[in-house]
Amino acid sequence: MNSLFIKQAEKLQLFNLEDVMKVNLAKLKLHHEFSFTWYTQLLNLLKEQGLLRQFQENNL
């Protein structure tokens, strides 16, 4: 996990995986600090942690 990813997450008010799993993705995408580059890194992290499917189901 690189420090830029973490700083971007903090700007989005995401401080841990629990925050990520509870986030409203539609609202997150509207945040001025959101980027699809960061989002791709997030999806890779969730996949590594075995949480990608649950994240997707939470945001359907």
**What pLDDT, on the 0 to 100 scale, is given for residue 60?**
85
pTM of the model: 0.91
Domain total in the chain = 1
**What pLDDT, on the 0 to 100 scale, is given for residue 13?**
97
Length of the chain: 60
Q: Does position 37 have pLDDT exceeding 90, yes or no?
A: yes
| Structural tokens at position 37 | 């580059």
Q: Does position 1 have pLDDT exceeding 80, yes or no?
A: no
Percent of the chain scored above 70 by pLDDT? 100
Domain membership of residue 19 as a residue range: 3-58
Those residues whose C-beta lies under 8 Å from the C-beta of residue 24, and which sit 6 or more positions away, are: 59
Tens of pLDDT, residue by residue over 6-17, are 999 999 999 999
CA distance 29 to 2: 21
CA distance 13 to 19: 8
H helix runs in the chain, sequence order:
3-11, 17-22, 25-30, 36-48, 52-58
